[in-house]
Amino acid sequence: MNLCNRSLHRLDQDEELAELPEHVENEQDNQRLVINVSGLRFETQAKTVNQFPNTLLGNAQRRNQYYDPLRDEYFFDRNRPSFDGILYFYQSGGRLRRPVNVPIDIFTEEIKFYELGEEVLEKYREEEGFIKEELKILPKNEFQRKTWLLFEYPESSTAARCVAITSVSVILISIIIFCIETLPIFKHYKVVTTVNIANNSTEFRIEENDVPAFDEPFFIIETICIVWFTFELLVRFASAPGKLEFFKEIMNVIDIVSIIPYFITLGTVLVNDQSSKQQNQTTSLAILRVIRLVRVFRIFKLSRHSKGLQILGQTLRASIRELGLLVFFLLISVILFSSAVYFAEADSDATFFRSIPDGFWWAVVTMTTVGYGDMRPVTVWGKLVGSLCAIAGVLTIALPVPVIVSNFNYFYHRETETDDKQALSCPDAGSLDEDEEQSIRSSFSSDSYYRKKSNGTYSNNTRSATVCTYNKR
C-alpha cells in the first residue's frame, strides 16, 4: 500500500514537472532570480525562496504567472518599499520585519499577496502590538438566537428596536422616579414617641419615614419597572449562548445590581411590619437607606443602548494604565503639598491646617483647580506653596489627556466604520440559518478582528473591528 502511494505521489510530481515551463524546469537552486517590483529590480538565488514552497515566490508554478520571458524576470506591480521586508523574510529563514517607512496596513496587504501564510500574518500582528478581539457568539438554537438578537442587538430588526425603546423608557422612568421621590413635597414623616422612665416624661419628635407604602404611586411605578427589568434579565439569561460568560459581562452585573435593592427593600418593609421592636426597625431603616442608594446604578443601564457611553467606557478601560499613573502622581503631590503647606503655616494662629491630613482636602481641591475656598493659606510661604500646588496640578492632569483623547478617537472612528460596514453587508437576522451565519462570519477577513495598542494608545491606521449585528435595511 505504501509503495502504491509513493508511486502515485511520484507520478503526480512528474505530471507537475511536465507542465512546468522550460525556464522553470532548468532552474537550479543556485540560479539567480530577477524580481522586478514596480521598476525596482531585486536579485536573489532560487534556493532562497524555494525554502518556503507554500508561498507565492517559493512555489515555481505560482510565481510563473508573473514571469516576463522577454526580460527573463518576474514582474510584480506592487509596493516597492514593502518588498525589502518580504525578501528579508526569505533571506533570514522566516523572520519578518516591516520597513519603517511602510504603513502597517499596506505591509499587511503585501503579506497576503505574497502568500506568506496565516501563521506568519498572525505572528506579525502580535509583534506589531495588535490585540485580537473576540467574536460575538450567537446561540445555536434558532429560537434562542432570535430571542438573543431581539434583546441584545437593537439593530437586528424592528421588533428589537421596539424592545430597546421600551427598555430605555423604563430606565428613564425609574431614574426620574428615584429623583422626584426625594422632593420634600413627596416625603412622608412620622411622629416618634420616646418614653423616659427615669423622669417619667415623654418626648415627641418628627422623623422622615423611609419605609415606602405599598399603595404609593411611586412604589407602584417602581414595581412595574422592576417587573420589566427582571423579565428582560431572565429572558436574556435563558437565551444567552454561554451562561457562565453571561455573568462575566459588566452590563449584566449592572442589571442584576439595579434590581436587587427593590427586593431587599421589599423584604425590609415586610420585616418592619412584623417587628414591634424599635431597635430592629431603626437598624432596618439604616440598611434600607444604604440599599436604596444602589438604585442610582440603573443609570448605567443606558450604556447598553448608547453608543456614546459604550465608547466612553471602552476609552476609560483602554486608558486604565494612564489613569492609574494620574492617580499615583496626584497621591504623591497631595502628600507633598499638604506637608509643605502645614509646615509653611505652622507659625500662624489663623491657619486652617492643624495637621497634614487636614491639608489633603485642600491639596486635592487646589490641584484639580476647583478651589472651594473653605481652606486657604494665609501666610506668604503658604501662598507660595499653594501657587506651586495649582501649577503642578494643571501639569499633572494635562499629561495623560492626549493619550485618552487618542483612544477616544480610535474607538469613535472604529464604531463609525463598523456601523457603515454593517449597513452595507449585514442581512436580516430573522432570515439566518446556521449555514448562513457561518458563511457571514467567514466572509469577514481576519483583519477585522484586530486592533493595535502602542504606547498606551490605539492606532487609527488599522482596520476597525467588525462584528456583524445583522442590520435590517
Give me the pLDDT at residue 76, please: 94
Distance spanning both ends of the chain, measured CA to CA: 58
Using alpha carbons only, give the angle 319, 325, 328 rounded to the nearest 5 degrees.
Answer: 140
Residues whose CB falls within 8 Å of the CB of residue 82, separated by 6 or more in sequence, listed in order: 99, 102, 106, 107, 110
Contact between residue 339 and residue 360 where contact means Cβ atoms under 8 Å apart: no
Question: What's the whole-model pTM score?
Answer: 0.58
For residues 378 and 215, give the distance between their C-alpha atoms in angstroms, rounded to a whole number.
57
pLDDT digits (tens, 9 = 90+) for 28-72: 567 889 999 999 999 998 888 988 999 999 988 888 999 998 989
**CATH dotted code for 320-398:** 1.10.287.70
Distance CA 304, CA 289 (A): 27
Closest CA relative to residue 87, chosen from 113, 31, 143, 48: 48
Residue 75, φ and ψ in degrees, nearest 5: -110, 130
Matching CATH number, 142-305, of 1.20.120.350, 3.30.70.260, 3.80.10.10, 3.40.50.720: 1.20.120.350
**CA separation for the pair 412, 418 (Å, rounded):** 10
pLDDT at 205: 67
For the chain, domain boundaries: 9-128, 142-305, 320-398
pLDDT lower than 50: segments of the chain: 1-18, 20, 25, 276-277, 279, 423-450, 453-473
Residue 296's identity, in one-letter code, is V
| CA 64 to centroid of chain Cα atoms | 46
Determine the Cα–Cα distance for residues 412 and 405; give it in Å rounded to an integer.
10
Sequence-separated (6 or more) residues with CB below 8 Å from residue 324: none
Q: What is the mean pLDDT of the chain?
A: 77
Q: 9-128, superfamily in CATH?
A: Potassium Channel Kv1.1; Chain A (3.30.710.10)
| Cβ contacts of 240-244, under 8 Å, gap ≥ 24 | 240/139, 240/148, 241/137, 241/138, 241/139, 241/140, 241/144, 241/148, 242/137
CA angle at 256 for the pair 254 and 257, rounded to the nearest 5°: 65
* pLDDT on residue 334: 92
